[in-house]
Amino acid sequence: MPLDPMTRSPAETRKLYQQVAAAVADGIAAGRYAPGQRLPSERDLAEEFGVSRPTIREAMLALEIRGMVEARHGSGIYVADSLPAPSPAPELDIGAFELTEARALFEPEAAALAAATITDQELDRLEEILADMVEENAAEAKGEQADRRFHVAIAEATRNAAIVSVVETLWDARYRSPLCRHMLDKARAVGVKPRIDEHRQLLDALRTRDPQRARKAMREHLEQVIEGLLAATELEALERARTEVEAKRVEYARRRAV
């Protein structure tokens, strides 16, 4: 049934993904989902709980981190064959979709303000950071440090310490949150990297000193980050299916040779 946070006490009010994860965990504990059983599809779970598919993905990642479910090649999410001993659920903090949504609400306005105050020296610094980002991508570097520096540098160009603090906090949450880190690792595993062309467009918008253009460029960039995370989870599932098909092809060839 759909989740209704309004019916919960303040102590029970949690992020949506946590509510979904808790409900599925309760179903596993009650025997609704047995060890080794395939869970309903992402679409079906989204309809059952009345939440978005990204929320379901974060809930499944949370359960995967806890060892309660596992993704199986090409066939979906299953209850783990061997369930962990009951224990309090860890605080998995913020998910990658939720975090990026917060950035999409905040950073476009920061970019608009920066466009009105940025100096030539700061633009040159962004150009240097963009070059570092290209090198990090080529070297398959993890952590996206140049990407972080790029966005923090834009915040610094606003001349507002509070804005800088918020942007730094949102970025640092990517590394403190196990759930967010897990999702980003999955994204990197299927080739998702900082998009150089989108950062170039953002830098070009800042060079025009046009707040509207800078706001639009940042908003479109972060919307594409969310799309990239969605695509990453879908690509991971497709890759699992492709691997399974190839294994079956090899097995079939072996059997034919007998």
Render pLDDT for 156-200 as a digit per residue (tens, 0 to 9). 999 999 999 999 998 888 877 777 877 777 777 666 788 899 999
Indicate yes or no: pTM above 0.85: no
Among candidate residues 77, 142, 78, 151, the one with its CA nearest the CA of residue 110:
151
Q: CA–CA separation, 213 vs 133, rounded Å?
A: 22
DSSP codes joined into one string, 37-56: PBPPPHHHHHHHHT--HHHH
Give the CATH number of domain 5-79; options: 3.40.50.1260, 1.10.10.10, 2.70.150.10, 1.10.3720.10: 1.10.10.10
Cβ atoms of 118 and 112 closer than 8 Å: no
Residues facing residue 77 across a β-bridge: 71
Render pLDDT for 237-246 as a digit per residue (tens, 0 to 9). 545 544 544 5
Superfamily of domain 96-238: GntR ligand-binding domain-like (1.20.120.530)
| Residue 31, both tokens | 């025997």
Among candidate residues 6, 98, 103, the one with its CA nearest the CA of residue 52:
98
Cβ atoms of 133 and 148 closer than 8 Å: no
Q: What pLDDT, on a 0 to 100 scale, did the predictor assign at position 83?
A: 77
Render pLDDT for 114-157 as a digit per residue (tens, 0 to 9). 999 999 999 999 999 999 999 988 887 665 789 999 999 999 99
Among candidate residues 190, 228, 233, 191, the one with its CA nearest the CA of residue 76:
233
Q: Kindly list the domain boundaries of the chain, sorted by start residue.
A: 5-79, 96-238
Asked whether the CA dihedral 74, 193, 188, 40 is positive or negative, the reply is negative
Q: Which residue has the tokens 């310490």?
A: 161
